A and B are shown apart, each in its own frame.
Chain A
Amino acid sequence: MMNRDLELLAGLHPRDVAAVLSLGHTVALATGDKLFRLGDEADHLFSINRGRIALTMPMAVRDRDENILIEERAAGQTVGWSALIPPHRFSLTAAALVETEVIALPRAALVEYFTGNPDVGYAVTRNIATVIGQRLEVFQAMWLREMQRLVKLSYA
């Protein structure tokens, strides 16, 4: 994965990409390892270098709590944007589906760097807004499709 392919840092000058990545550290995950859990404090943003991450939420299936897949993210994509959005708590659990490597970027270091480099902060914030906006639109559509089925089942 080339750094220029990271969705979080799209549109940035290579010098700025290197500077932002130098704020973080690499985390290696074995298959099944948890990157973060629902309800944890979100103090790091993660960019996936390689591998795949499953984002799950708990659901009762036959009286058993099961982690149900909500979304899957792959190399180049970002997870954990709750780190930049109050109340800074993860609303999903993230686990590695295969051997995975991520760059963990601490919120405090990012905010400090963005304060000193507002043009970089603007570009990164815009990239995150794109990720959040896409996810919102996709989930709006998924929610409406389920609502449509519910209406059909209840009032057919």
Chain B
Amino acid sequence: MEMFLMIAAMSLLGVGVCVALFAAATHDVRQAERQANQPAQNAPQFFAPEIATPADRIPIEALLLQIERHVRLEQAAAESFHYAPTAESLHSRSASPLVH
């Protein structure tokens, strides 16, 4: 009986050591696999096209006109500050489509 218990305890200890060694040996492999999978998740996918931002949808000529309008409106706002400098006139809202 004593012999049987000793063999059983030794077997359990052996299994435990094997599990620990196996886990340590495969840890680096699992980490490498996770890292290898990450770029694939971030890469553009055929069925999930990139979401276009509003600026991307505007034709460049229209965008340039918006920029020009923005500059003119901002300049007018800044000039009103120049002639009547107050904190309110400095931060007055303009109708520029680029800031709304």
Contacts and interface: CB of A to CB of B under 8 A. Distances in A.
B44 to A, nearest CB: 19
A2 interface: no
Given A141-B78, A145-B74, A61 B90 contact: no
Contacts of B91: 145, 148
A61 B78 contact: no
A69 B71 contact: yes
A45 B63 CA distance: 33
Interface in A88-134: 134
A18 interface: no
B40 interface: no
A64 B68 CA distance: 16
A141 B82 contact: yes
Contact of B79 (A68, A72, A138, A149): A138
A28 interface: no
A64 B63 CA distance: 12
A134 B77 CA distance: 14
Per DSSP, are chain B's interface residues mostly helix, strand or loop, or mixed? Answer: helix
Interface residues of B, number: 17
A58 B78 CA distance: 21
B17 interface: no
A70 B79 contact: no
A15 interface: no
A56 to B, nearest CB: 10
B67 A71 contact: no
Nearest to B68: A69
Interface of B: 60, 63-64, 67-68, 71-72, 74-75, 77-79, 81-82, 90-91, 99
Given A61-B60, A61-B64, A139-B78, 15 more contacts: A59-B67, A61-B63, A61-B67, A68-B64, A68-B67, A69-B72, A134-B82, A137-B82, A138-B79, A138-B81, A141-B77, A141-B81, A141-B90, A142-B77, A145-B90
